[in-house]
A and B are shown apart, each in its own frame.
Chain A
Amino acid sequence: MRRFVEGFLCMLGAEPKKPGQHSGQISEEVCRIMERKREDKSRIKEHLHEEARRQPRHAWRNRRWAVLAAVNLLFVFSFWLDIQVLEGALTASRFVGFHLIDLNAALQVMLAHKHIIVNFVVGTFTVFLLWVLLGGRSFCSWVCPYHLVSELTEKIHLALVRRKIVTDHEFHRGARTVFWVLFAVLAFVTGYTVFETISPVGILSRALIYGPGLALAWVFLLLLFEVFWSRRAWCRYVCPIGLTYGVVGTISPLQVNYHVEPCFHEGDCRKVCLVPHVLDVTIKGRATEAQMGLGPDCTRCGLCVDACPTGALHFKVKGLSKLL
């Protein structure tokens, strides 16, 4: 329960807590593992890391990109070729007739409009269940088109950082929580879904399906901001959609799981992560259990799973092994 609350607060913007060395928060098993790792010189971590860096793995990333492209193309072709499988855009759609409504868009409309109809409730609840099962913020990395564009331009940002042309300016992660509250209040007060005006997710999705428009200029500005000023700024510090799905993800059984035993605490996973604070458990001395699920802010993108040279990070469905 304590970890659950901590993970939630961390998603809202709190700094991850360090467990006290002698407070008994770290389980005996972890203490034993850490002791053993200190003594075990036979495993040459540098060797493993070098190997991994020579042959980077992209298994999960490729799978994810394929899914993301497939979902968005299904939207596009449903309209263009009139195959009518997934009609609408990311904010609301119909999958072979079943209503699906994006949770954040639904929230904005409910607050602005203050009335809801049956189809709307059905669509919202279906999507809620879907993302409870699929991991909450997995929406971000596996479906959101802005995530993909931003992931690609992030490579430019990182190249510029390596050449010391730009530096990454961090913001307070709590800003996203403030945005979430502010946009909710704005929707309620103005009676208009204010956030949708600047949401690059909706803009990109509609541009893909209905053709490009001027609104893409805003998406372009955001990308420029991310390349030259702050790494993945929209997803990290602004996007209330991410927080909404993050909240859903708190009760999701699908998680990335961390094993202390094979971990060498080198931090390769944190370097590739969109939300590195969820990987703070991989810092030496932070893990309290031998196996831990990452916090709800994790987008389940699998970059860390690919990056880890020693297999300390895995996808896991909680309770599945018990079921089988």
Chain B
Amino acid sequence: MSGPEPTPVPRLKPVVSAEKARRARRKFIRSAVLLSGMLGVSLLGVLPVLRMRVKRLRPPGALDEDDFLASCIKCGQCLQVCPVSAIRLGDLDEGTGIGVPYIAVREQACDFSCDAVQCVLACPTGALIYTKPDFFPVRKGAGLAKPPVLKARADEQEPALNLHERMGLARLVRPEACLAVQGKGFSGPARGVAFKGRMRYMDVDRWKPIPVRDHPYERELCDLCVTECPIDDAIALEAFTDTDGRRRFRPVVREQCVGCGVCEMICPVEPTAIEIESRAVWKMNGESV
């Protein structure tokens, strides 16, 4: 067999570059795994938020949920200015977005003791905003028919809050538990002595909210949700005749309700008889959806 000699292949070099190629390949695969891992984790954290499994009450002046989630920069400036610390930031396990603010009204409602919805003023991105730009439509029934008048400022020249949309709507979800419906009164601290929530009482100190437990009540017929509501004409006791033909009273939520949650916070029965439904809108027949 004769023919051209096969060109000798230099042995050392291919070994080295094969090793190099192997390393590069491994590094590439590692990097791809890192990429997909990080993306997976970030999506894991985001999915419950995007599917909106948990309906938390957002602070006053919040854009509609989609826009709110998009625009919130998670800095907590709204939380910092709240005099009653009603605003909290979502954690990893809450499904409301890490660092996104919400209000848990049963623990601490927004009682507007700042007088000016300061959280809206504090927001740097317009996620909380006084007046929505035109390109953000107002959901039907979310807008307030007239500016909500703050009872605390009723005597002042400008008694209304700069708030045009409701956060949610109060609803008597357990009428059978309601003390007024049962014809019962209430005396003592509204939520017991261990309750940490605070509220502004005009007859105590206009600028300094105090713990609710330090302000006991004495009522022959419980009407706390009505008297403690910070907004004028948002809730009232109305008479009705029960099935046994007795004359009773029950709290009825009106169109001026902004959904601040003071009624839910102050309701002395456990679990609460009146609840805030986040993002609920007003329907003309008086039913919230």
Contact = CB atoms under 8 A, between A and B. Distances in A.
Contact of B76 (A195, A210, A217, A233): A210
A93 B74 CA distance: 10
Given A192-B50, A210-B89, A238-B38, A89 B75 contact: yes
Contact of B91 (A101, A119, A175, A213): A213
Contact of B39 (A171, A182, A215): A182
Interface string A159-196: 00000000001111011001100110010001111111
B178 interface: no
A229 to B, nearest CB: 10
Nearest to B24: A172
B124 interface: yes
B73 A79 contact: no
Contact of A117 (B70, B76, B79, B126): B126
A114 B63 CA distance: 14
B140 interface: no
A213 B30 CA distance: 31
B66 A91 contact: no
A218 B80 contact: no
B75 A91 contact: yes
Interface of B: 27-28, 30-31, 34-35, 38-39, 41-43, 45-46, 49-50, 66-67, 69-77, 79-80, 89, 91-93, 97-99, 122, 124-126, 129, 133, 135
A198 B41 contact: yes
B70 A109 contact: yes
Nearest to A196: B74
A275 to B, nearest CB: 17
A171 B27 contact: yes
B78 to A, nearest CB: 10
A215 B92 contact: yes
Interface of A: 78-79, 87-94, 99, 101-102, 105-106, 109, 112-117, 119-120, 123, 169-172, 174-175, 178-179, 182-183, 186, 190-198, 202-203, 206, 209-210, 213-215, 217-218, 233, 237-238
9 contacts: A91-B73, A101-B125, A109-B71, A171-B34, A178-B35, A193-B74, A197-B97, A213-B89, A215-B92
A192 B69 contact: yes
Contacts of A79: 80
Contacts of A196: 74, 98-99
A148 B255 CA distance: 53
Contact of B125 (A92, A170, A192, A237): A92
A193 B70 contact: yes
Given A88-B77, A120-B125, A123-B124, A175 B34 contact: yes
Nearest to A182: B39
B124 A215 contact: no
A105 B70 CA distance: 11
A74 to B, nearest CB: 13
B45 A198 contact: yes
Given A101-B124, A210-B79, A113 B70 contact: yes
B35 A99 contact: no
B139 to A, nearest CB: 17
Nearest to A206: B99
B27 A172 contact: yes
Given A91-B99, A197-B42, A214-B91, 16 more contacts: A87-B80, A88-B80, A91-B75, A109-B73, A112-B69, A120-B124, A174-B31, A175-B31, A175-B34, A193-B70, A197-B49, A197-B97, A203-B99, A206-B74, A237-B34, A238-B38
A92 B39 CA distance: 24
Contacts of A193: 70, 72-74
B126 A171 contact: no
Given A89-B75, A210-B79, A215-B98, A197 B124 contact: no
A215 B89 CA distance: 11
Contacts of B28: 172
Given A194-B42, A210-B79, A91 B74 contact: yes
A120 B42 CA distance: 25
Query: Among the interface residues B34, B43, B91, B129, which one has the most CB atoms of the partner chain A within 10 A?
Result: B34
B6 to A, nearest CB: 34
Given A213-B92, A238-B34, A194 B43 contact: yes
A114 B41 CA distance: 25
B31 A105 contact: no
Contacts of B135: 115
A180 to B, nearest CB: 12
B126 A115 contact: yes
A202 B97 CA distance: 13
